[in-house]
A and B are shown apart, each in its own frame.
Chain A
């Protein structure tokens, strides 16, 4: 490994990187697109746009691609002749932009050509061979330079994935700020920004009781997460720290119950709630959530299992009762798992759909946000309410995202705990 290294460079990659860069340079002069006057290369399109004074702003991408490809290849030749870390870094920087421009050109080509009246109808799959080879060569060249300069090529993957992952998030954010109403718009970035969608959502004249829904959900989720956490902690502690006959059997029963799809029995639950007189109320949601909470004891029990028994025994010698040990010894040691349980239950109650939707039917005033937002995206309403749905989605997701990002550490601990147990 070491003998190929020259001042933090892997020189064997440099030559290949240069070759790739030169290929993409040559591709500028190979056929790019079929126009009325025959096959044109990217360079010819470049010249045409240069001569057109009424060109659109997007034309800058063609200029950028051509100029950057030429400069990058030139820098490449220079840094291969006179090897050095700084030259390679500069070359890498140029090649990054060059590759980005090639990729953007893939997406923007149609708009540039049609927008400037150069071509009437362009399809990406009909683009000439010069474009495809140029695009690939440019990316290959970038990868090779990064290898030569000991830059982790994982950045490329992460950037591409990151864009894909954030795309829907960005879309819903932009939609929530969009002034133009309606589901269908022919563009990604809104023409006018507004906060009206949020105002409408919570305004008094709104047809949708969204504020009500939000409060409902907050009540259910807050009560639910506190009660559920207490129940889970109690169950997990008992099953982890005490030994009694029937303990294993109890755990097996819980496991077997858990293997039935939960909402299979909702009809029966509904009838029981009706018998108790609390159907169609938020209380029902909290009660039913708490009743089933014990089944989620696994992760917490796994955590309690890892607290050494010696701690308990020491406390017993000091004369502490089991309850005191639970409250004053075990719980303070379990902060991370408590946060995990609270967070998980809050999230669960916050985004539960099936049960509330069955419980409330048409009683809109009791809806939780999950039911309400789903109701909004029905195809009969989507055109009217799409921007408001987006605003609602942002309002609902925001508290959770903030909570989550701050408490990520605990979540990871809980997750890796769930693998162990």
Chain B
């Protein structure tokens, strides 16, 4: 086989290539320009020039500042000519960090384009060497609707993700390694890199912060498990009752329960929160009916509040599982039940030996995904209790029903401890990642992705 037909990689394109290929490493697009794809090549060149101008004018400075995060403090300087104190502008660490991240993302994106241009030039060379026609620009554009459709369809999503998800995420992850807390608020103050100190203060025992973190983490885990499994079994049992023989008006019953699902959760949760208040309707009725003499502390006592949020979440979550399970229940082969009935199995045994194992098998991945989303279930906690009741043993703002996410929210919104919030965010990510890995090792759905086709 002729060597020109062999596929070349990043290094061999350079070492084995001719001068054009070598040039394309230095001048982006050269590989295309000299091989007949002038417009494409010029576009690459244009992008390269744009990037260079950006880096020379701003980018390099951004990247340099990233090291120190600014060193000039804003201050008052005496202006001798005017005889007054005037404000001198200092560095804004937050903007420096943000611009630094922007510069990094732009650089990485450009590197990708640069690599792409090299490969594109190489493809043009390989085509020419093989005697095929080198595609001109119009044909390239047309190929977007066909074999290169991914560039057409993914352009907008990827750009969106880069600008509004990836970039902010990198920014926040970096923030976990700074001391950007309420004592270091730009522009009045600078913040700086502190390494992994935040993780240590949060995790190590003894500090007020860690005395908050561990109990909150514990409650987050308890909440996640309780919320997931209560809704799972509740929904399963409800679905089985509605779908059982002899229940008429199935659609009517389903609609009743779907009602709570259809109402946006912030509304139903706020409504229930007002109902559970000390002077709320539930307390009023309980007293009127003689069930209790004084108002019950549904949301103001720690244990009561924790049970209340789980129960209210049950109220909201059961219909979702009910709908989902209804579909799966119908897939269970009916013969299984008939033969079980012939063997004299009662409803409990049938559930234990047939329905539940089947459901468990099918829904394990869903269950783990649900568990993760419940760890991060912001709405029920925030709209019901807002994390209250407060306690003096916790770091300011955090309450006894706060989950890690709601605490994170409070740290960003109320107390501006961005570094702590970012650290907690990373810890949440780690927890989710562990559970996702467990889920993957248990299910084959990722492996046999092609299985349906």
| Mutual binders A and B | yes
Contact: B267 with A393, CB < 8 Å?
A: yes
Bitwise, A106-127 to B at CB < 8 A (1) or not (0) is 1111110000000000111100
Contact: A124 with B290, CB < 8 Å?
A: yes
Contact: A186 with B288, CB < 8 Å?
A: yes
Partner of B263, one of A187, A288, A400: A400
Partner of A292, one of B165, B254, B257, B421: B165
Chain A residues with CB under 8 A of B362: 419
Q: How far is the CA of A350 from the CA of B273 in the complex (A)?
A: 20
Chain A residues with CB under 8 A of B285: 188
Bitwise, A316-327 to B at CB < 8 A (1) or not (0) is 000001111010
Contact: B264 with A350, CB < 8 Å?
A: yes
- Which residues in window 318-373 of A have CB below 8 A to B? 321-324, 326, 347, 350-351, 353-354, 358, 370, 373
Knowing A242-B149, A261-B376, say if A305 contacts B262 (CB, 8 Å).
Answer: no
Q: How far is the CA of A269 from the CA of B328 in the complex (A)?
A: 40
Q: How far is the CA of A268 from the CA of B246 in the complex (A)?
A: 57
Chain B residues with CB under 8 A of A419: 324, 327-328, 362-363, 365-366
Chain A residues with CB under 8 A of B291: 123-125
Stretch of B37-45, B57-65, B428-436 contacting A (4+ beta carbons < 8 Å): B428-436
- Which residues in window 266-297 of A have CB below 8 A to B? 266-269, 271-272, 287-288, 290-295
Q: How far is the CA of A263 from the CA of B246 in the complex (A)?
A: 47
Contact: B165 with A257, CB < 8 Å?
A: yes
Contact: A261 with B425, CB < 8 Å?
A: yes
Chain A residues with CB under 8 A of B156: 231, 234
Knowing A255-B436, A264-B421, A351-B264, say if A290 contacts B160 (CB, 8 Å).
Answer: yes
Contact: A377 with B263, CB < 8 Å?
A: no
Tell me if A192 counts as interface (CB < 8 A to partner B).
no
Contact: A168 with B164, CB < 8 Å?
A: no
Partner of A261, one of B244, B290, B408: B408
Contact: B257 with A165, CB < 8 Å?
A: yes
- Count of chain A residues with Cβ under 8 Å from any Cβ of B? 104
Partner of A288, one of B164, B261, B453: B164
Q: How far is the CB of B286 from chain A (nearest CB, A)?
A: 9
Contact: A411 with B160, CB < 8 Å?
A: no
Q: How far is the CA of A370 from the CA of B270 in the complex (A)?
A: 10
Partner of B290, one of A123, A151, A162, A370: A123
Tell me if B6 counts as interface (CB < 8 A to partner A).
no
Contact: A152 with B429, CB < 8 Å?
A: no
Tell me if A401 counts as interface (CB < 8 A to partner B).
yes
Tell me if A237 counts as interface (CB < 8 A to partner B).
yes
- Which residues in window 409-453 of B have CB below 8 A to A? 409, 412-413, 418, 421-422, 425-426, 428-429, 432-433, 436, 445, 449, 452-453
Tell me if B259 counts as interface (CB < 8 A to partner A).
yes
Bitwise, B246-281 to A at CB < 8 A (1) or not (0) is 110000011111111111111110111111010101
The chain B residue with its CB closest to the CB of A348 is: B264
Contact: A162 with B253, CB < 8 Å?
A: yes
- Which residues in window 138-173 of A have CB below 8 A to B? 150-152, 154-155, 157-158, 161-162, 164-166, 168-169, 171-172
Tell me if B153 counts as interface (CB < 8 A to partner A).
yes
Q: How far is the CA of A164 from the CA of B246 in the complex (A)?
A: 23
Partner of A305, one of B154, B163, B453: B453
Partner of A400, one of B95, B154, B264, B288: B264
Contact: B94 with A271, CB < 8 Å?
A: yes
- Which residues in window 287-301 of B have CB below 8 A to A? 288-291, 293
Partner of B154, one of A234, A288, A322, A386: A234
- Count of chain B residues with Cβ under 8 Å from any Cβ of A? 103
Chain B residues with CB under 8 A of A261: 376, 405, 408, 425, 428-429
Q: Decide if the interface of chain A is mainly helix, strand, loop or mixed.
A: helix
Chain B residues with CB under 8 A of A401: 259, 262-263
Knowing A255-B436, A321-B145, say if A404 contacts B262 (CB, 8 Å).
Answer: yes
Partner of A235, one of B157, B163, B319, B425: B157
The chain A residue with its CB closest to the CB of B161 is: A294
Tell me if B134 counts as interface (CB < 8 A to partner A).
no
Q: How far is the CA of A412 from the CA of B161 in the complex (A)?
A: 29
The chain B residue with its CB closest to the CB of A235 is: B157
Tell me if B150 counts as interface (CB < 8 A to partner A).
yes
Knowing A259-B432, A264-B408, A309-B453, say if A234 contacts B270 (CB, 8 Å).
Answer: no
Contact: B247 with A393, CB < 8 Å?
A: no
Q: Which of B267, B270, B319 has the most CB of A within 10 A?
A: B267
Partner of A416, one of B277, B328, B372: B328
Q: How far is the CA of A122 from the CA of B289 in the complex (A)?
A: 9
Contact: A171 with B275, CB < 8 Å?
A: yes
Chain A residues with CB under 8 A of B171: 265, 268
Chain A residues with CB under 8 A of B428: 259-261
Knowing A166-B256, A188-B285, say if A291 contacts B267 (CB, 8 Å).
Answer: no
Q: How far is the CA of A168 from the CA of B145 in the complex (A)?
A: 52
- Listed in ascending order, the chain B residues whose CB lies under 8 Å from chain A are 94-95, 98, 101, 144-147, 149-150, 152-154, 156-158, 160-161, 163-169, 171-172, 238, 241-242, 244-247, 253-268, 270-275, 277, 279, 281, 284-285, 288-291, 293, 315, 319-320, 323-324, 326-328, 362-363, 365-366, 372, 376, 378-379, 382-383, 405, 408-409, 412-413, 418, 421-422, 425-426, 428-429, 432-433, 436, 445, 449, 452-453
Can you offer 13 A-B residue contacts whose CB atoms are under 8 A? A124-B289, A158-B247, A187-B288, A259-B432, A259-B436, A264-B172, A271-B95, A293-B157, A322-B146, A353-B379, A397-B262, A413-B327, A419-B328
Top 6 A-B pairs ranked by shortest CB distance? A291-B160, A110-B290, A351-B264, A265-B168, A268-B168, A404-B262
